[in-house]
Amino acid sequence: MTTRATRLLHLLDDLRRRRRPVSGARLAEQFGVSLRTLYRDIDALREQGADIAGDPGVGYQLRAGFMLPPMMFSPDELEAVVLGTRWVASHADPELAAAAERALDRVVGVLPDTLRLQVETSGLFAPDWSPTPPEPWLPALRRAIREGNAVRMRYRDGQGRASERIVWPFAMALWPTCACSPRGARRARTSATSAPTAFWPWKTPASAIRNSASD
């Protein structure tokens, strides 16, 4: 890839990540080129189909809906994608692991031959040495976080005492810890909990959830 082609790719990626117009002068300084060169680069991207709004002296912004070609990865970016998806495939619940494998297959399917070979011969792996399989109800908890639902689940503390709790899960960290807020911000080990048995929308008042749970 030539120096200019690399710069055009980085310029397009920079515009894609911005939410507001950026001046040509700022972009020229960022990429170490003259303002005239920056204007030519913008014109070149437009000729290749990039929907860039703006004019000299006004600023530039990539309109929503333009997709950066997925084959355009640097070697480090591609290794990050490969290692990240392999880690999820090895450590997450089966449903999310399968999704990671499909995502990587989709990326590899549109890569040019040289980059596809880099993935296929990659020496980066993320084996799971844990003898304990993930809890089978983790997909349900992930969906509760994604959709903003409160959940009811059974919990066993360090002394073995069981209780039923209503939690508002907002994050899950692997090695799996679910951050939730039954009485303020707390963490709950997934190995100490069992499958959620009820779900409520996140904005449901706590009093309504308690009344429903007691029925």
Whole-angstrom distance, CA of residue 135 vs CA of residue 195: 9
pLDDT of residue 213: 53
Please report, in tens digits, the pLDDT of each residue of the chain (215 residues total): 568 888 888 898 889 888 889 999 999 999 999 999 999 999 999 988 888 999 888 899 998 766 555 556 788 888 999 999 999 998 888 999 999 999 888 788 777 778 888 888 999 888 877 667 777 888 888 888 888 888 888 777 778 788 887 888 888 877 644 444 444 444 445 444 555 555 455 555 555 555 555 55
Cβ atoms of 60 and 66 closer than 8 Å: no
Which tokens sit at 194? Answer: 């069992």
Predicted local distance difference test score (pLDDT) of residue 149: 84
CA 51, 52, 57: angle at the middle one, nearest 5?
160
pLDDT value of position 12 = 87
Among 133, 125, 119, 142, residue whose Cα is nearest residue 73? 119
Surface-to-core class of residue 169, CB atoms within 10 Å of its CB (0-12 exposed, 13-18 middle, 19+ buried)? buried
Tokens of 180: 């939730």
The CA-CA-CA angle for residues 13, 50, 80, to 5°, reads 25
Q: Tell me the residue ranges of DSSP E strands in the chain.
A: 52-55, 59-62, 149-156, 162-167, 171-173, 177-180, 186-189, 198-201
pTM: predicted TM-score of the whole model, two decimal places: 0.54
**What separation in angstroms does the CA of 42 have from each of 11, 33, 48, 61, 129?**
9, 12, 10, 10, 49
Distance (Å, rounded) from C-alpha 77 to C-alpha 70? 11
